[in-house]
Homo-oligomer: A and B are copies of this chain.
Amino acid sequence: MSDDLVGWLVDLDKLRRMTQRYARAVDARDIDAVAALFHPDGVVDGARGSAPVPAYIDGMRNAPRIFESGMHVLGDPLIDLEPGADHARMDTYAVVYQFRPPGSTEADLVLGIRYLDDLVRHGDHWLIHHRQAINLWTRQGLPQL
């Protein structure tokens, strides 16, 4: 029983890491690192509708660069995983800061987002098979000094 629990705790840590890896990857515009977190047969439902993972990733690669930089501050995920199971759910709160280039007359943005992820075990790691990204709120960013 203890071995099962240890494996379960290791899985929880792997899943928790994925939230922070996603934040670093998307903030660095490292699209390959983002893609590595998603199952190629998966689906992402977001503000721009529903897309298969390959189309979602291509959309990120080809998106016009509106913001100069961003910071995805993701909280501790609420993880649902039975010991030994190959399927998990994560519910993660995020506050996302999006910054305009210097000299822009448009406001920065701050968004509240909730990521609801279904994940599947894939070898010794996990992949997001379905993501629902819910935009809870959007506001102007804080003023510059």
Enumerate chain A interface residues (CB-CB to B < 8 A).
Answer: 2-3, 5-6, 9-10, 12-13, 16-17, 19-21, 23-24, 69, 71, 73-79, 91, 93, 95, 97, 99, 107-110, 112, 136-145
Q: Which of B9, B10, B76 contacts A20, CB < 8 Å?
A: B76
Copies, count:
3
Alpha-carbon distance A78/B72, docked complex (angstroms): 13
Known pairs A71-B136, A95-B95, A141-B142 / 4 extra A-B pairs, C-beta < 8 Å? A20-B78, A20-B91, A69-B136, A140-B145
Q: Which of B3, B23, B77, B142 contacts A2, CB < 8 Å?
A: B3
Contacting residues, chain B, for A2 (C-beta < 8 A): 2-3, 6
